[in-house]
Amino acid sequence: MNNGRLAEIALTIMAIACSAFSYLPRESKIQQPSTGTIAGKVTIDGKPSAGIKVTLSPADKTVSPNRANSDIQTTAGEDGRFRLSGVPAGTFVLTATGGAYVLADSGISGPQGKTIILHEGERLEDIDLVLMRGGVITGRVTDAESRPLIGERVSLQLVDSDGRSRPVVLTNQTSESDDRGIYRLYGLAPGRYRVSLGVTLRAEARAPDAGASHSYYPVTYYPSVTDESQAKIIDIQGSSEVTDIDIVRSPGVKAHTVAGRIVDAESGSPMQEVEFGYSSVTKPYVSRVGSGYRTNLKGEFSVENVKSGRYIGFAVLDSKSDSYSEDVLFEITDKDMRELQIKVQRGSSISGVAVVEGTDDPSVVSQLSNVTVRAVPLDNTNTSGGTRTTIAQDATFHLSGVKQGKVGLMISSPPPKNFSLIRVEQNGIEQPFDILQIMTGETTGVRLVIAYGKGNIRGQIRVQGGTLPSGTRLAVSVVKSNAPARSFGEAQPDPNGRFVITNIPTGDYQLLVRTVPAASAIIRQGVRVDSGKDTEAVIVLDLSK
Amino acid sequence: MAHFVKNCWLASTAALAVLVISGTATAQQQVGSPEPTAVAPALVSSQHTGTINGHVMIDSGRSLEGVKVLLSQAGASGPAHQATTDDNGEFRFDDLHDGIYTVVGAVAHGYFISRQPTNAIEPDLHYLGDSINIKLVKGGVITGKVLDARGDAVVGVSVRSVRTRDLEGLPPDGDLETAGQTDDRGIYRIYGLKAGIYVVEAGGSRRDLRVDSYKNDSPTYYPSETRATAREISVQAGGETSSIDIRYRGDAGHSVSGNIIGPAALSPALISVMLLYSGSDTVAAFPSPSSNNDNRAFSFSGVADGEYELLIRVNNPSLGQGFIATRAVTMKGADIVGLKISPAPLGSVTGQIQVDPSVTVAKDSKCKMRHVLTTETVMLIARKSEASQSKPDRMLPNKISGSPNEKGQFAFHNLGEGIYRLEARLPNDAWYVKSITLSAGPSKSQQSGSSKTIDVARLGFSLKPGENLGNLFITLAYGAAGIQGRTAVSRKADSPQRVSLHLVPAEREFEDDPLHYAEVPVSGDGSFSIGNLPPGRYWMISRPVFDSVTNSVIKPLAWDPNERAKLRDEAKPGSPQLELQPCQRVTEYVLP
């Protein structure tokens, strides 16, 4: 029998074992939880480094800043060794300060700190932090007339091999230019970066200073372009210092007036006292805002100080309205837009009932009245034909002003967010992907099947038959077998391969383990999540296959 | 020279002649029978809203766009109004309620507001419809490196420059501390600084309470000292002071902790606790955030040996009162724990402005000016007339200003004990302050059963610790007079740089009434302008000002009875006397 087969059998046994294994909730103990220790060594460029401050902070960032005292700090000794004592159970991030340094090994962790999960009273040893001097990007920012821009914020994006970028947050340094226009960003992990100037433009809700002539500056990327795809990428390898990354701010764009009318689509008559809204389409999903300007008796509106760009305009309608607004695409280049016409259409309605699967408990069912149901039209990506309502006391719901066509249903509940939508049925038939086909008039007989409660998964990934190549780490996510793209939770395992994913709605799922960046090894393993419980799962990743 | 003098005399004689003629004409008119329709001047609340706009430029004359201008209504609480200058450097505030406004800030990175020396003490007051010109000056720079004992760069440590005095040696006004941070080479750069003398400190607790590795250390001062031996450096506007390198000590220092007790500690309350260097206004440490959200407990870490002053200010809305406490703390190599501080209450005064009904104006008299005064545009200033000796009061402002509400009521809160004077700044020159009185209650007074009226204009009002005084009345009257003119400017080398002009009442009945005295500085070109004067007869004398203007309590000489007597003595023999009628405006007056 070859190793592969053995592994397969091992995996199968594990899978069966784990899906049948559920942790019972712990009994509450009325005693002081015992604390543990975390110890290891800090080295910089291979040599032990003394005097580096090592900080253990709770991974839960929702803790208020006043609780900074829950950080545990110690200083590495002459041999680079450190020991943190009195650590309570929990999930933490271990960092070494000296903002100029970054973690050199990526192992099964992210670049800025090691994620550590400590169980009660556990003593972890040999948690080594290998640091190297981070990269530096520095340069000068000026306006179009070569004058230095003072106090200007410079932003960084990290670009991955697929071309996707995410913003980089630098801690404990100012990312602003000084009085000479010079900025310096340090402590950068190796990678490919875009540098830019200026904050993202947002469609303003209300014209700030009416009548004044304000220029607005779009985001400018190094060296001097406004198009992100044309920005020059800066490659940081090892501890390089890249200088002369000078950015010249693009010339400002003037703002203009948008004016028009809102009318009823069928009769053509003007609609009074309706608020005009607009949102930018040049940036991916910007939330829709009203302009604060309402139509007059003739149905006319006028908004000043709108920056150049492409927008959609719409009428802001109450969610109880029977109608929905058309979206009109318009573009502001170098002059005012005067003739924008927005039509308001009569919409359809959806009505039905909501049920909680698996329980008739009245205390649970009564909480349904906190749940909001939303209908989102799917035929166009940006449309205001969406509407929402709250489930009534008798568990029925009614949505009005829905745009005809393909409509997706979603629910949301206030914290602690105990409800999630399992499936949508219409007249007894399950609607795939929770999508209904809406015609004119009323759509009835809709049944929302909702799950109550959330549980946790505590897992362990065991890597055997080799070690992961350097530069790769693992990632775990929780997905539904029929909807693999929708994630119910994600985690990165700690150096020991342990992970915790919380707040997963009850139900049957698959654990998906993959390597990052190159998704070369993938494991799927079934798991069942029960309300209020911790489910244990062990996954074996056999690299010898 | 003779030519000039002759012309001067001709002009002044002519002016006097005009005055006499116009004066008698008015007098004749008033002697006649009163007009049947008299106008009653009135004090009202304004329903108006309006605009204040302006322009910002830098010293090179260039307009600056993107400057955040902050405008605050005098005496109003709440955030300041904000506007940003456009491409032409212009800004505009619309929909402002009627009232008095001051520019509290013009924020442009690297610059600060330039103030003219004469206006250094009091900010300019603005009313609706005003156009404000703001000039910004490029700030100075301090830069250097922070290294540790081994010569390695200290990365990401907060470095702060603290201004101890300005270049003329005077205590600084505002904007004391500016902060920067070292980069990966240990280099820091602080810019936008006002000219002055500074010390530079690295490490220690931060004002923004952000957590870094150095927050529990005792701060190190340039070059490698504690505060007592810190070396001072000088910074010029637009200049760069470099190589200010600090050898970081990273001393642990010790801690100071304690609790606030007493009525001040009744929650909810806004509590501010700071540790200051003894005898100065500079902060030595900010408190560590409390772990259990109990803001009545405080603790400081990283306190080096030395003398400090603990300052605690409490504002307790449920009691409607403020509290203050200071405690001298001496740190000598050991933690100080268990301090118990009970802050003492601060006092307040409330009152009302009103119009003197006996002053009515004949309809076709010279008084054509605004008969109506809006309450919100009257600015009242309570000023301590003697700097108090006791420690806590040194921390309180010497001057508080505010405006009455729409009913003409006003209040000043959070006042320390002491003797105060009230002044009014009136928005138009048609009005003057007739009297300021305090009617004390009948209980506990010498004259039992009757209420005493204290002439606050003459004596000020006295506040005991935590006392809440009521019934202050400020009576305004219509028909103020004004004088504009110039004094002869002496070109002699030893003549004083600054001259003040004093008006001294010539009538006996007013000789002890400070409201009938006026004092105004004369500009460099000799011109002066005095308004809001009660009608009457006055002597005019000019006095040299040899001492430089300080930031301590500015006292009009007329508050002091001895000074009043001295002024009268100086005025009597042969000084020019001026008779001012209601609403009279004297222009082009020349004082020899």
Q: Do B304 and B351 fall within a single domain?
A: no
What burial class does residue B428 get, using C-beta atoms within 10 Å of its C-beta: 0-12 exposed, 13-18 middle, 19+ buried? Answer: middle
Tokens of A383: 């449309």
Inter-chain residue contact B86 with A186, CB threshold 8 Å: no
Domain boundary among B344, B366, B382: B344
Q: Percentage of chain B with pLDDT > 90?
A: 18
Residue B289, H or E segment: none
Query: In this predicted model, what pLDDT tens digit does every residue of B214-235 receive, in sequence order?
Result: 878 899 999 999 888 999 999 9
Strand partners, B477: B432
Domain boundary among A74, A103, A133: A133
Q: Do B380 and B472 fall within a single domain?
A: yes
Lowest mean pLDDT among A176-180, A325-329, B314-318: B314-318
Length, in residues, of chain B:
592
pLDDT of residue A110: 43
3-state secondary structure of A364: helix
Q: In what order do the strands lie in the sheet with A429-431?
A: A396-402, A348-356, A442-452, A419-426, A429-431
Per-residue pLDDT at A515 exceeds 80: yes
Alpha carbons B398 and B383: distance in angstroms, whole number: 6
Per-residue pLDDT at A2 exceeds 60: no
Position A247 confidence tier, pLDDT thresholds 50, 70, 90: very high
Domain assignment present for residue A30? The answer is no
Q: Do A332 and A413 fall within a single domain?
A: no
Domain assignment present for residue B15? The answer is no
Interface of A with B in 81-110 (CB under 8 A): 97-100
Inter-chain residue contact A179 with B141, CB threshold 8 Å: yes
Q: Do B469 and B351 fall within a single domain?
A: yes
Tokens of A162: 């697929």
**Three-state secondary structure of B468-535:** EEEEEEEEEEECCEEEEEEECCCCCCCCCCEEEEEEEECCHHHCCCHHHCEEEEECCCCEEEEEEECC
Inter-chain residue contact A214 with B183, CB threshold 8 Å: no
pTM for the predicted model, two decimal places: 0.65
Which member of A186, A210, A212 has the closest CB to residue B184? Answer: A186
Q: Do A355 and A438 fall within a single domain?
A: yes
Q: Do B397 and B471 fall within a single domain?
A: yes
Per-residue pLDDT at B207 exceeds 80: no
* ipTM value for the complex: 0.76
Domain assignment present for residue B473? The answer is yes
> What is the least distance, in Å, from the CA of B460 to any CA of chain A?
45
Alpha carbons B497 and B494: distance in angstroms, whole number: 9
Q: Do A360 and A410 fall within a single domain?
A: yes
3-state secondary structure of B437: strand
Tokens of B229: 């031996």
Question: Phi/psi class of residue B61: alpha, beta or left (left: φ > 0; alpha: ψ in -120 to 50)?
Answer: left
pLDDT of residue B361: 66
Domain assignment present for residue A29? The answer is no
Domain assignment present for residue A221? The answer is yes
pLDDT of residue B21: 38
Could you list the residue range(s) of the whole structural domain that residue A273 is in? 255-346
Lowest mean pLDDT among A348-352, B35-39, B521-525: B35-39
Best B184, B191, B240 residue to mutate vs chain A (most A CBs within 10 Å): B184
Are A276 and A290 in contact, with CB atoms under 8 Å apart? yes
Domain boundary among B478, B512, B544: B478
pLDDT of residue B142: 96
Per-residue pLDDT at B477 exceeds 60: yes
Q: Please provide the DSSP assignment of B179-210 as one string.
A: EEE--TTSEEEEEEEPSEEEEEEESS--TT--
Q: Do A153 and A239 fall within a single domain?
A: yes
Q: Do A406 and A425 fall within a single domain?
A: yes
3-state secondary structure of A268: coil
Q: Do A365 and A412 fall within a single domain?
A: yes
How many domains would you assign to chain B? 4
Lowest mean pLDDT among B101-115, B511-525, B543-557: B543-557
Interface of A with B in 202-221 (CB under 8 A): 208-215
Q: Which residues of A touch B138 (CB under 8 A)?
A: 179
Alpha carbons B343 and B392: distance in angstroms, whole number: 10
Q: Do A354 and A306 fall within a single domain?
A: no
> What is the least distance, in Å, from the CA of A245 to any CA of chain B?
17
Q: Do B559 and B508 fall within a single domain?
A: yes
Q: Tell me the pairing of strands B372-374 and B42-44.
A: parallel
Per-residue pLDDT at A328 exceeds 50: yes
Inter-chain residue contact B65 with A172, CB threshold 8 Å: no
Note whether B82 contacts A: Cβ–Cβ < 8 A: no
Domain assignment present for residue B565? The answer is yes
The CATH number linked to B385 is 2.60.40.10
Q: Do B192 and B220 fall within a single domain?
A: yes
Note whether B156 contacts A: Cβ–Cβ < 8 A: yes
Q: Do B242 and B266 fall within a single domain?
A: no
Per-residue pLDDT at B14 exceeds 70: no
Note whether A75 contacts B: Cβ–Cβ < 8 A: no
Residue-averaged pLDDT of chain A: 79
Position A243 confidence tier, pLDDT thresholds 50, 70, 90: very high
Lowest mean pLDDT among A123-132, A316-325, A513-522: A513-522
Q: Do B370 and B474 fall within a single domain?
A: yes
Tokens of A405: 């066509």
Note whether A136 contacts B: Cβ–Cβ < 8 A: yes
Tokens of B327: 């405690």
Tokens of B479: 């028909």
Region B51-76 average pLDDT: 85
Alpha carbons A33 and A120: distance in angstroms, whole number: 7
The CATH number linked to A286 is 2.60.40.10
Q: Percentage of chain A with pLDDT > 70?
A: 79
Q: Do B314 and B339 fall within a single domain?
A: yes
Lowest mean pLDDT among A62-76, A453-467, B517-531, B568-582: A62-76
Region A150-156 average pLDDT: 89
pLDDT of residue B487: 81
Interface of B with A in 273-312 (CB under 8 A): 288-291, 293
Tokens of B319: 């009691």
Q: Do B512 and B586 fall within a single domain?
A: yes
How many domains would you assign to chain A? 5
Domain assignment present for residue B127? The answer is no
pLDDT of residue A17: 45
Domain boundary among A452, A472, A501: A452
Count the Cβ atoms, other than its own, within 10 Å of residue A470. Answer: 10
Count the Cβ atoms, other than its own, within 10 Å of residue B419. Answer: 15
Alpha carbons B295 and B298: distance in angstroms, whole number: 7
Q: What are phi and psi of A486, to 5 degrees?
A: -95, 115
Note whether B213 contacts A: Cβ–Cβ < 8 A: yes
Residue-averaged pLDDT of chain B: 79
Residue A258, H or E segment: strand A253-264
Q: Do A341 and A376 fall within a single domain?
A: no
Q: Do A427 and A521 fall within a single domain?
A: no
Domain assignment present for residue A28? The answer is no
Interface of B with A in 106-135 (CB under 8 A): 108-110
Domain boundary among B344, B361, B383: B344
Query: In this predicted model, what pLDDT tens digit does every residue of B376-424 receive, in sequence order?
Result: 788 888 887 765 555 566 677 777 888 888 788 888 888 888 888 888 8
pLDDT of residue B118: 40
What's the start-to-end Cα distance of chain B, in Å?
14
CB pairs under 8 A between A and B: 86
Alpha carbons B42 and B537: distance in angstroms, whole number: 26
Could you list the residue range(s) of the whole structural domain that residue B447 is in? 347-478
Inter-chain residue contact B110 with A252, CB threshold 8 Å: no
Q: Tell me the pairing of strands A123-124 and A36-44.
A: parallel
Q: Which residue has 């990290």 as its token pair? A: A158
pLDDT of residue A6: 55
Query: In this predicted model, what pLDDT tens digit does every residue of B163-202 receive, in sequence order?
Result: 888 777 666 665 567 888 999 999 999 998 888 899 999 9
Q: Do B238 and B264 fall within a single domain?
A: no
CA distances in angstroms from B489 to A272, A421, B429, B547, B588, listed in the order given: 69, 88, 27, 19, 15
Alpha carbons B438 and B475: distance in angstroms, whole number: 11
Q: Do B387 and B464 fall within a single domain?
A: yes
Inter-chain residue contact A252 with B288, CB threshold 8 Å: no
Domain assignment present for residue A219? The answer is yes
Domain boundary among A425, A452, A479: A452
Per the model's pLDDT, the better-predicted residue between A257 and A349 turns out to be A349
Q: Do A526 and A473 fall within a single domain?
A: yes
Q: Do A429 and A499 fall within a single domain?
A: no
Domain assignment present for residue B77? The answer is no
Q: Which residue from A minimizes the CA distance to B240? A: A179
Are B580 and B536 in contact, with CB atoms under 8 Å apart? yes
pLDDT of residue A112: 59
Position A24 confidence tier, pLDDT thresholds 50, 70, 90: very low
Q: Do A150 and A108 fall within a single domain?
A: no
Domain assignment present for residue B160? The answer is yes
